Every structure is written in C-alpha cells, then in structure tokens.
A and B are shown apart, each in its own frame.
Chain A
C-alpha cells in the first residue's frame, strides 16, 4: 500500500507544483466562456426554466472537471515516457492495480479541484443552489475517474506529444463540447438528439446538472447506470493494458 500512496502523492505533487498552469488556467478559461456566452445569451435564453448563465455554470464546471482529469494522467504518462523517467515507477514492485488507482485518483483530485475553483469563481455571476448534492458528487467523481482512465490509455498509446494532442483534440474535446455543456439536447433537431445519446459525456453532464436543478434531459438513474458501465469498461481495458505492460515494457 505504501507504493500506491507514494505514487498517488507524487502525482498530486506533480500538478500542485505547477498549480498556476494546471488549476488556475482552466478556471480562467471557464470564466471567459461564462462571460462571453452569459453576456450574449442570458437575457434571451432560458433552459429547464432557469436563466442561461445559471444553466451554463454546472456544464462549465463539469467540462473542466473532465478535461483536467484527462489532462492529468495523460500528460504525466507521456512526459514520463518521453523523458525516460517512467523507469522509476516500472522498476519498483508496484502492482498494476495500484498503478492504475494512483493515476486515476490523482486525476480525480485535480478534476475536482479545478471544478471547485470554477464553481467558486462563477458564484459571483449567478445564484446557484444544489438540489441534490450527492448526485453532483457522484457524477463529478465518476466522470473524472473515467476521463482519468482514458487519459492513461491515451498516455500509454502516445509515443509523441502530437499523438496525445490528436487524442485530446479529435476525441475528448468534441465529446465534451458536444455533450450539452452549452445547451439542452432538447433544443437540437431529432437526429442530433439521437446522436447525443451515444455520447457518454452527455450523461455525465446531464446527471451533474440534475444535482443542481433537479431537472435533466434524461432520468439521473439512467445517466448513472451509463456512467458506471463506462467506468467499468474503461477501467477493465486500462487494467488489462497495464497488466500486459502495453507500450511500457518491451
């Protein structure tokens, strides 16, 4: 267990030492989104009976939770692989399950820290109450864990920074941006509503938002089931790759 805790602590320390970049910058980005979209749309749009700025905030919080959880594990692994410092965790007797848990939990920690930062910073712009805080917590933790595990897969697969950037820009970014962060899928044409239901990030955002407003596009229990299934699938895949030493041990 000491090996696991040390790796977890190391991963926390790694992003905390550059918190300006890893926590501060995403909070600022979310604020800019809020200022621009809120300014343009707040007086014209209501979703689920709430003002647009209030509707937008949970989406922005969750988007940053997910993107930063992914960024944490993926960037840590690719940096370690490219610089060669990955040997420091491959030489000791750390079981692959502990390796997985340490990276994913550190990703969850960074995701939640950024999410909390965005939430606190945006409280100045709209009144927000949590109708069901446990749903908020459940979707934030599970969503961050899924993206943390996906970040591990991306970090293991990538051999260069541009491969990781491609994974991030052509998969993670579209999945999060087109998941209902900025809109309710009921505002979409029927075809795109159908397509949105195949995007697992949609369920994370929708369930998270339910925790604030008590209303959602899909029943929160159904969203939770999808998110738990995704977490199980991504975790099993990542654990299998780690067990085989895929792209880690020649």
Chain B
C-alpha cells in the first residue's frame, strides 16, 4: 500500500545549522498524525520540504507515491498546506482569494465547494470582505480554506489554531475531523498538546532536527502512566 507521505533520510542544512538530520517517516493514508516539538525542532522545515518550499540536501520525500522534486506537479496537487505565518494578499476579498487559489490548482468553477468551506469555517458572512479587514483569527481560517480549495487528500496544518478563539477552534476541529473521516490524511503541528492528544492517532516528537519518539498516542501515553501528553512531551524532551 502506498503511504500518504513517505520521508526517507532527509537532511537539510541552513549554513552551519543542521535543520533536519536524517529524518525518516511514513504516514499512512487516512491517518491523523501529530508532529510535535519545541520551537526550532525542524517541524516547519520538514513540512516546507514536503511542500517544495525548501529543498532537501539529500533524501527523498513523496506524497502518495509522487516524489516532491521529480513529480512535483502531481505531489503538490495532492497536498494542502496551511502555513504557520499569518500571510494574506491585501488586494483581494475572501471569495476572490479562494477563487484565485482554486485556479492555481487548475479548478475553474469551484464555488460550491468554496461556499461549503466558508460555511464550515464560519466565514460565509465575510466572503466579500477584503482580507485586510479581517481579524487575525479570521485570516487564519482563510488560510485553512485556501489549503482546502482543491480537496487535497493530504492536508498539512502548521499550527492552524494559533490566535483562534476557543469556539472557532472547536468548529475548525469538527470540520477537520469530518475531512479525516472522509479519508483525508491530516498532519498537524501544534503547541496545544491537549489538541494533539485528543485528535492524533499517532505522534512524532522532534528535537534538534531529529525524530526522537514515534508511536501511537496511546502507546506514548502508556509509557508514562497517569500523565498527560504534555508530561510525555516534557519528559521525552529532557531525556
């Protein structure tokens, strides 16, 4: 069976800094996978390498069997990425932003799905509002919507709930759970460990460019009885 994401011995340096040190990882189709670690652990570099924003010095990455360098067009069409930075194009409204993003992925008439995303992310009332006029939390949700316009089978969420209030966060997770239930593979990085504990079936812990723990959430928790994922995280990082 083809993995949703396959990462084999990936190395990346930024000058003298070793950002990724021989990272290998397989994520199966339909998984809800957590990628956790402190700031600077290499999570975003790993995601960026998968998305083609960063080029690995060595190693191979593929999305549903498509190499991210050799078959980059196919690999990118199968991947939806919510970037960590709160970025937006100030010239456009929410709907224009999503129509343009659909077009980049080769979709011309995508309004039905755009409306559904807007509804699920509680953005329907803001569809014709310019991006500059949205709050930080709303801009974050538009980023999520942009990643979903082409219904990618693999969705990467890089800290998607930073700055999003509790109620809207719950709405977002409900929607993402539904997508996962429909077969989409979800890869999540977050500093809210209780969210990872509740959502992810399997978790990798990263530190200084390496994966230092990789197991099901249940097994990780079982290794530290009575503790939360936060306890597991702190103990593992301090080992």
Chain A residues at the B interface, C-beta cutoff of 8 Å: 2-3, 5-7, 9-10, 13-14, 17-18, 80, 83-85, 87-95, 245, 249-250
Task: Give the chain B neighbours of A91 by CB distance below 8 A.
Answer: 51-53, 76, 79, 81
B72 CB within 8 Å of chain A: yes
A89→B106 CA distance, assembly (Å): 12
Separation of A29 and B123 alpha carbons in the complex (Å): 42
Roughly how many angstroms separate A55 CA and B102 CA in the complex, as a whole number?
48
Do residues A250 and B53 form an inter-chain contact, with CB atoms below 8 A?
yes
Contact present for B52 and A13 (CB under 8 Å): no
CB < 8 Å: which of B51, B91, B103 contacts A14? B91
Give, as a whole number of angstroms, the nearest-CB distance from A237 to chain B.
20
- Report B's interface with A, CB cutoff 8 A: 14, 48, 51-55, 72-77, 79, 81, 83, 85, 87-92, 96, 100-108, 146
Which residues of B sit under 8 angstroms from A92, Cβ to Cβ? 76-77, 101, 104-105
A17 engages B91 (CB within 8 Å)? yes
Chain A, residue nearest B156 (CB): A91
User: What residue in chain A is nearest B71 (Cβ atoms)?
Assistant: A93
Q: Which one of B55, B75, B81, B105 lies within 8 Å of A250 (CB-CB)?
A: B55
The 4 tightest CB contacts between A and B, nearest first, are A6-B103, A84-B87, A92-B104, A93-B73
Cβ contact within 8 Å between B51 and A250: no
Bound-state CA distance A89–B103 (Å) is 11
For the complex with contacts A7-B103, A10-B103, 9 further pairs of A-B residues with Cβ separation under 8 Å are A3-B104, A3-B105, A6-B102, A84-B87, A85-B87, A92-B104, A93-B73, A93-B75, A94-B104
In contact, A250 and B76 (Cβ under 8 angstroms): no
A3-B104, A13-B91 as given contacts; A88 in contact with B146, CB under 8 Å: yes
Q: Which residue of chain A lies nearest to B86 when distances are taken between CB atoms in the complex?
A: A84
7 examples of A-B residue contacts, CB within 8 angstroms = A2-B103, A9-B103, A13-B91, A17-B91, A80-B89, A83-B90, A250-B48
Give chain B nearest CB distance to A50 CB in angstroms.
42
What's the least CB distance linking B48 to chain A, in Å?
7
Name the A residues within 8 Å of B100 (CB-CB): 6, 9-10, 88
CB distance from B91 to the nearest CB of A (A): 5
The CA-CA distance from A13 to B118 in the complex, in Å, is 23
* Complex alpha-carbon distance, A80 and B14, angstroms: 22
A93 to B78, CA, bound (A): 10
Query: Which residues of chain A come closer than 8 Å to B106, judged between CB atoms?
Result: 2-3, 93
Whether the pair B54, A84 counts as a contact (CB closer than 8 A) is no
User: Are the C-beta atoms of B89 and A88 separated by less than 8 Å?
Assistant: yes
Given A90-B53, A93-B77: A84 and B83 within 8 A (CB)?
A: yes
> In the complex, are the beta carbons of B104 and A83 less than 8 A apart?
no
Q: Which residues of A contact B75 (CB under 8 A)?
A: 93
* Across-interface contacts of A94 in B (CB, < 8 A): 104
Decide: B104 and A249 in contact? CB cutoff 8 A: no
Least Cβ–Cβ distance between B228 and chain A, in angstroms? 34
Q: Which residues of A contact B146 (CB under 8 A)?
A: 88
Cβ-defined contact, A245 with B91, below 8 A: no
Tell me the bound Cα distance from A17 to B76 in angstroms: 30
Cα A245 to Cα B102 with chains together (Å) = 23
B56 to chain A, nearest CB (A): 10
Q: Within 8 Å CB of A2, what residues of B?
A: 103, 106-108
Within the complex, the shortest CB–CB distance from B131 to chain A, in Å, comes to 9
Q: Which residues of A contact B51 (CB under 8 A)?
A: 91
Q: Whole-angstrom distance from the CB of B13 to the nearest CB of chain A?
A: 11
Query: Which residue from chain B places its CB closest to the CB of A244 in the assembled complex?
Result: B55
Known A84-B87, A91-B76, A95-B73: A249·B52 in contact at CB below 8 Å? yes
